[in-house]
Structure 1
Amino acid sequence: MTQRTISQSLFFYFISALGISMTIKAMIGVSSFNSLNTALADLTHLKIGTITSSINLIFLLICWFLDSNRNKTQYLLMLISLVCFGEVINAMLYLVFSQITVTSYPLQLFFFTLGTLIGGFGTGQVLRLNLLKFPIENFCVLVAERTRRSFSFYRYGIDFICVGLSLFFTYAFSLPLYVREGTLISLFLLSGAISWSQKLVFFPKSEKMMIDN
């Protein structure tokens, strides 16, 4: 673990937060996980980034207890980055993007698609650097290692639960509908963007960094 790797990981972590903020601002639906976050934000009157960080921190805590090979420094970095992750989303949505109005549907589609690609790019780079992990994905990996089910089974299961809860809150409390066409676009586009990004190397590791890692 080096300072350079930490800096790069944090940078791309926040790029991912920027992309998420753009998809929410487009207002044509959001990804499965974010559909729950936005519904809970409406229900509790808390900021979306705050809800996002809170749920991720719950998963991080669960991972801490499940991970027999836990690295304290790594988990501390993930905790700090998750708090900052939510604050970046809040800053973009409630400060920067609050001055922007996306009204036409083609522009909303473009804004959402661009946000999904940016978010997928940031996420892919974080995964490539393999320092800061995303708590939900890490949770699914840890559970899959202890059961006969695959990672995909648990990851899609969480998506299904998030969508179900979002729809429940929407109809039970008359909230806006966040499971829309954007949710489907994200389902097909996000994983491809992440896979593409993981193959891109912008900052090759020096020999010293490879030894340190």
Structure 2
Amino acid sequence: MMKAIQRVIIVAISMIMTGVGASMALKAAVGVGAWDALSQSISGVIDMKVGTFSMMMNISCVLIQLFLLKKEFKLKTLTQILVAILLGYVVNFMFYDVFARFTIHSYWANIVLLIVSCVICAGAVSMIMTINLITFPLESCCMVISKKINKNFGAIRQFVDILSIVVALGVSFFFNQCITVREGTVIMMLLFGPLLNVFMKMMIPRLKKVGLID
């Protein structure tokens, strides 16, 4: 029982750190990940907080799973809605209330901030994936779609990123919004995967040693 509580606490903290990392990338303003770029672009057009719109997008991923799985849909999947709400709230709080008090004038300082955000997100996500107690709505949705149409998960996930970038750029140009797909997007694409692998290799033996994973 105590181990289960510890896993829940660690996952919750990791989710919060993921939101903090994402808000740091938004603050850097040199480009964000594809999914976040889509949220930022559209939220700017409809005058909605980016965390709130991101929350709605993630909840829509849960609804897509419900539509596709129907009777096979498991009730525990609904916990992904809690993930969406927590992430959205943390992003809004950090980006609009905390980081709004600071101004960074140096371009290279923003690049460093972006890299730090990428490290934080990779570390937090690797912890969540290693404990495997809950999944992110987008990844879970892509997994369901890949099984339904018998396509590779990686290909589906990559397609979503490409589509997100195309739509984000289209929205930015059409509505004359700030471009959210920039050099930072490329940096995150290059760094996130390798960092994720490094952190997971570090965490798996340590978590096994303390009995938090099998």
| TM-score, scaled relative to structure 1 | 0.91
1:29 match:
31
Match of 2:176 among 174, 180, 185: 174
Cα distance in 1, alignment partners of residues 209 and 55 from structure 2: 30
1:90 match: 92
Contact 2:131 2:213 in 1 (8 A): no
> Aligned equivalents of 2:55 and 2:162: distance in 1?
20
Indicate yes or no: 2:79 matched with 1:77.
yes
Asked if 1:100 is matched to 2:97, the reply is: no
* Separation in structure 2 between the aligned mates of residue 142 and residue 42 of structure 1, nearest angstrom: 30
Letter in 2 for 1:12: S
Return the offset for 1:106.
Answer: 1.1
- Structure 2: tracts of 5 or more residues without a match: none
Residue 78 of structure 1 deviates from its aligned partner by: 2.1
Match among 163, 166, 185 for residue 164 of structure 1: 166
Question: What residue number does 2:142 align with?
Answer: 140
Q: CA deviation at 1:179?
A: 0.8
1:141 Cα deviation (Å)?
1.4
What CA deviation, in whole Å up to 9, does each residue of 1:71-107 have, x standing for no partner?
A: 42x3233212210110000000011101111110110
Indicate the RMSD between aligned Cα atoms, in angstroms.
1.9
- Once residues 138 and 83 of structure 2 are traced to their aligned partners in structure 1, the CA distance between those partners, rounded to angstroms, is 14
Q: 1:53 corresponds to which residue?
A: 55
TM-score normalised by L of structure 2:
0.90
Distance in structure 2 (CA, Å) of the matches to 1:148 and 1:187: 25
CA apart distance, 1:145: 1.9
**Contact 2:15–2:86 at 8 Å: present in 1 too?**
no
Distance 1:16 1:205 in 2: 24
Residue 190 of structure 1 deviates from its aligned partner by 1.0
**What SS class does the counterpart of residue 199 from structure 1 fall into?**
helix
Distance 2:182 2:111 in 1: 12
Residues 133 and 205 (structure 1), Cα distance of their counterparts in 2 relative to 1, 3 Å cut:
farther
Deviations 1:98-155 (A, max 9, x none): 1111110110110000001101111111111111201111112122223332111111
Return the match for 1:200 from 202, 208, 211. 202
Runs of 4+ off more than 4 Å: 67-70, 202-207
Structure 2 match to 1:125: 127
Partner of 2:21: 19
Partner of 1:46: helix, strand, or coil? coil
Residues 91 and 66 of structure 1: is their aligned pair in 2 closer, same or farther, counting only changes over 3 Å? Answer: same
- Number of aligned residue pairs: give it: 209
Q: What is the Cα deviation at residue 200 of structure 1?
A: 3.0
- Separation (CA, whole Å) in 2 of partners of 1:97 and 1:169: 25
Q: 1:104 to 1:210 in 2, by over 3 A?
A: closer
